[in-house]
């Protein structure tokens, strides 16, 4: 495998080298932040939008990893961005003995995700003790909605 990696690096095209760089970024981020590999591949770095911690945002550069064969962001990536923004918001708002996972996700794709950057934002719609309903939106660099979704999360106790 090492020889194959060296070969791709030496003889591959720019896209193939970028994928290898993203793989290393994913490993580094997993080690440093204990995040999912996918977060590292996407380059997810989030922040609360307001001081009440009721909304959360990811801003990220578009990479070749995210594109479909038509050159726009793959729909599954857009869904992942919305789900990740909502999941990050709920999980950062819970006490350490609890966590939340997605039980339902609904996405509307509004326009192709193109350009150099995307922004995903999430907010709470309803916050129960066990079930939390949230919404998320992905915007392009012109501040146009690319996709919108809602999700339901169940709050669980760590064992």
The domain locations on the chain are 1-34, 43-158
Whether the Cβ atoms of residue 113 and residue 150 lie closer than 8 Å to each other: no
- Three-state secondary structure readout of 34-94: CCCHHHHHHCCCEEECCCCCCEEEEEEECCHHHECCCCCECHHHHHHHHHHHHHHHHHHHC
Average pLDDT over every residue of 123-140: 96
Which option is the CATH number for 43-158: 3.40.250.10, 3.30.300.10, 3.10.129.10, 3.40.50.10210?
3.10.129.10
22 pLDDT exceeds 90? no
Backbone φ/ψ region at 116: left (φ over 0), alpha (ψ -120 to 50), beta: alpha
Place of tokens 């192709």: 112
Res 144 pLDDT > 80 = yes
* Whole-angstrom Cα Rg for the chain: 17
Mean pLDDT of 100-107: 98
């Amino acid at each position: 495998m090492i020889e194959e990696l060296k070969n791709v690096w030496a003889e591959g095209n720019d896209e193939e080298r970028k994928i290898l760089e993203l793989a290393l970024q994913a490993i580094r981020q997993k080690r440093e932040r204990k995040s999912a590999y996918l977060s590292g591949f996407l380059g997810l770095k989030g922040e609360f939008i307001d001081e009440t911690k009721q909304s959360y945002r990811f801003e990220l550069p578009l990479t070749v990893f995210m594109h479909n064969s038509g050159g726009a962001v793959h729909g599954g990536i857009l869904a992942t961005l919305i789900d990740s923004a909502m999941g990050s918001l709920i999980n950062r708002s819970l006490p350490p003995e609890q966590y939340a996972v997605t039980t339902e996700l609904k996405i509307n794709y509004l326009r192709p995700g193109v350009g150099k950057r995307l922004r995903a934002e999430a907010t709470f719609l309803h916050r129960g003790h066990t079930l939390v309903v949230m919404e998320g939106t992905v915007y392009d660099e012109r501040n146009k909605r690319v996709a919108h979704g809602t999700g339901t999360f169940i709050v669980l106790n760590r064992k």
